[in-house]
Amino acid sequence: MATSLQFLNPTLFKSLAPSNKTSSSLSPSPLFRLNSTSTAFNFRPLTSSSSSSSAAIITRAAASSSGSGESLTRETFHGLCFVLKDNIDTDQIIPAEYTTLIPSVPEDREKLGSFALCGLPEFYNDRFVVPGEMKSKYSVIIGGDNFGCGSSREHAPVCLGAAGAKAVVAESYARIFFRNSVATGEIYPLESEVRICDECKTGDVVTVEHKEDGSSLLINHTTRKEYKLKPLGDAGPVIDEGGIFAYSRKAGMIPAASSA
């Protein structure tokens, strides 16, 4: 589901002529300026909490910025995968009762992570987050068709990121979940070209590797199979920077966040 930034959330953007003033080397293309009065998608805590230990081994790789010829740093993830099937909806990802938690509050964000995927049906024998724990040992989620369907709650990608997930690899996504994933910068919503969820099992050791041409590769070290993933397009650099607000600030589209 390679996408243009104009599809992330049109209500947050207004079209403007190109600006010659940018505060960084990031290209502000597509030429949209964020409405800085909106607080939507501004979910990361303003105060940085101590980095928690993650099951993922993260390395950094250069990825070309879409259409700019410039290079951005994109992460490559290695760890255990958690496998799901079709139509995983937002109630299964994070039940509505937990959406009263505020993701920008560090304590609430941590609690959100502990409830990630707690609404799954009982026939999923493995739990994404072990009861009593705050983080998951699975760094990559593999899904089937229509991942993230249901409501438009932004808490869905936020809770997955808070639990320690780095990427979701699915056959297809509900559009709103894909957009929320990009706008919050919490996880990489990657699309597979084949039905990977039928060929992988929970606990398999995998690597999600980003290529310089913008494409990605999922390597299952347990089965010794590789799968080509579809490019993220213009959405990739937004996630690289940590979401639409961080991307827009670095590109000079909106003022830098106050340090106060």
Low-confidence ranges of the chain (pLDDT < 50): 2, 4-7, 9-25, 27-43, 45-54, 60-72, 260
| Range 74-91 burial, b when 16+ CB lie within 10 A, else e | bbbbbbbbbbbbeebbbb
Verify cis geometry, omega within 30 degrees of 0, for the bond prior to 255: no
- Statement: the pTM of the whole predicted model exceeds 0.95: no
Specify if 6 maps to a domain.
Answer: no
- Measured distance CA(101)–CA(83) in Å, rounded: 26
The Cα-based distances of 176 to 122, 157, 172, 190, 210 in angstroms read 26, 11, 12, 14, 24
- Looking at the structure of the chain, the number of domains it has is 1
> Exposed, middle or buried: residue 57 (CB in 10 Å: 0-12, 13-18, 19+)?
exposed
pLDDT at 259: 53
Specify if 143 maps to a domain.
Answer: yes
Specify if 209 maps to a domain.
Answer: yes
Residue 215 identity (one-letter amino acid): S
Specify if 33 maps to a domain.
Answer: no
Specify if 236 maps to a domain.
Answer: yes
Specify if 129 maps to a domain.
Answer: yes
Angle between helices 175-184 and 155-163 (to 10 degrees): 60
The CATH number of the domain where 98 resides is what? Answer: 3.20.19.10
> Exposed, middle or buried: residue 234 (CB in 10 Å: 0-12, 13-18, 19+)?
buried
Q: Which two three-digit tokens encode residue 122? A: 């009982």
Q: Which domain holds residue 187?
A: 76-251
Model confidence pLDDT, tens digit, residues 70-119: 444 567 899 999 999 999 999 999 999 999 999 999 999 999 999 999 99
Specify if 142 maps to a domain.
Answer: yes
pLDDT at 118: 97
